[in-house]
A = this chain, B = another copy of it.
């Protein structure tokens, strides 16, 4: 009597699994940008996010960034440390609440962002163009997905 074959596993196609598809699409899209920013400006993705938020919001604390940029506070803290060492941002204490720090763009960081932000806008425009009508669909899907999290 021969040994029984095990029951077959359920069929499952990784390529149809939405979390996988999202991860691959996001990695591809991000890596493409990350390479550009690294080559041109020497900054990483977390650093880029902090800079963009500072460019948009002026003076903010680590907590503010954490709350609005989908980063953990230690990521913000370490990104800010590197950016400070690179002379791109400045840091001082908030005199009203000395637990808080006030981060802001240094002139050097401001100059960098003056060059970087138009590049980012161009990239966005090109992506919209490349995807054509699928872009609106992607955005609608992302909107629904992101709304669940706030």
A95 within 8 Å of B (CB atoms) = no
CA A132 to CA B141, docked complex, whole Å: 10
**14 cross-chain CB contacts under 8 A:** A12-B56, A14-B52, A17-B120, A18-B138, A18-B139, A21-B139, A22-B26, A24-B70, A24-B146, A25-B145, A25-B146, A26-B26, A28-B149, A134-B140
Q: A25-B145, A135-B141, A138-B144 are in contact. List 7 more A-B contacts (CB 8 A).
A: A14-B56, A18-B29, A18-B139, A29-B145, A138-B145, A140-B141, A141-B142
- Chain A residues proximal to chain B, CB less than 8 Å: 6-7, 9-14, 16-30, 33, 45, 49, 52-53, 55-56, 69-70, 107, 110, 113-114, 117-118, 120-121, 123-124, 127-128, 130-132, 134-135, 137-146, 148-149
